[in-house]
Amino acid sequence: MSDDKLIREMNAYYDRRAPWHDEYLSYESNEKMEALLGPIIRRVEQFTVGRDVLEVACGTGIWTQVLARRARTVVATDVNSSVIEIARRKEYRGVQPTFIVADAYRLDDMESSFDLAFMTDWWTHVPRQMLPSFLEGLHRRLRKNAHVVVIDMMPLDIHQGDDVVYDADGNRRRQRTLPDGSQFEVVKNFPTEQELTKVINPYADGIHYWQDQALMRWVLIYRLRNQSTDPT
């Protein structure tokens, strides 16, 4: 399967998944989500307060609500209008986000610039061979002294199975089935700290990585080369 076809299939999966997305994540309210993920939110909120934030692959706006309470401005993007429409209907305290249907692999089409890029549960879906071009496009949207915050999943036992295959580029692929019975092939990689560092090194002066074993999430924060803020 070509890269373009694989991306189209994953986009179609999340488009069709939109009505069930929040149910999958089991967050009854944004307040419950903030309480549950509090340790991670406290790790990253120093980078969101007062910033102009570009959120990549915002989905149905769960983390957009977190950003809106802290940032100066939020532009939340997703390739699927179905999830954007769900996100727009949510209540936002703080700033009102601007929602844009945008392809994460074609961010050069955007005119604005930002001092923070933020993404959750997105990196692991990017095919390994497409990470450099994605990052280069993302970085072109960022201002001097910008940071990038990435939050994603650690591997769980439920992510193993006989249906998992690895392609020639080392991407972990698996068939996913939606409640309506439709099936899609989705990339879900679980990079190590060393793998992440190798990808980021060409662009970053500062790289900071944490794992939260209780929440099964990893957090990556980096600044672009020639920038000086330390997230510790």
CATH number, domain of 41, equals: 3.40.50.150
Q: Is residue 66 part of a domain?
A: yes
Pairing of strands 172-177, 165-166: antiparallel
Q: Which domain holds residue 14?
A: 3-154+190-224
Identify the pLDDT of residue 229: 44
Identify the pLDDT of residue 158: 53
Identify the pLDDT of residue 231: 46
Q: Is residue 179 part of a domain?
A: no
Task: Give the total number of structural domains in the chain.
Answer: 1
Identify the pLDDT of residue 31: 76
| Residue 222 near residue 208 (C-beta atoms within 8 A) | yes
> What is the model's pTM?
0.91
Q: Is residue 163 part of a domain?
A: no
In this predicted model, what pLDDT tens digit does every residue of 47-91 receive, in sequence order?
999 999 999 999 999 999 999 999 999 999 999 999 999 999 999
* Encoded tokens for 195: 């793998």
Q: Is residue 124 part of a domain?
A: yes
Identify the pLDDT of residue 138: 96
Identify the pLDDT of residue 122: 96
| Residue 72 near residue 51 (C-beta atoms within 8 A) | yes
Residues of the chain with pLDDT under 50: 227-232
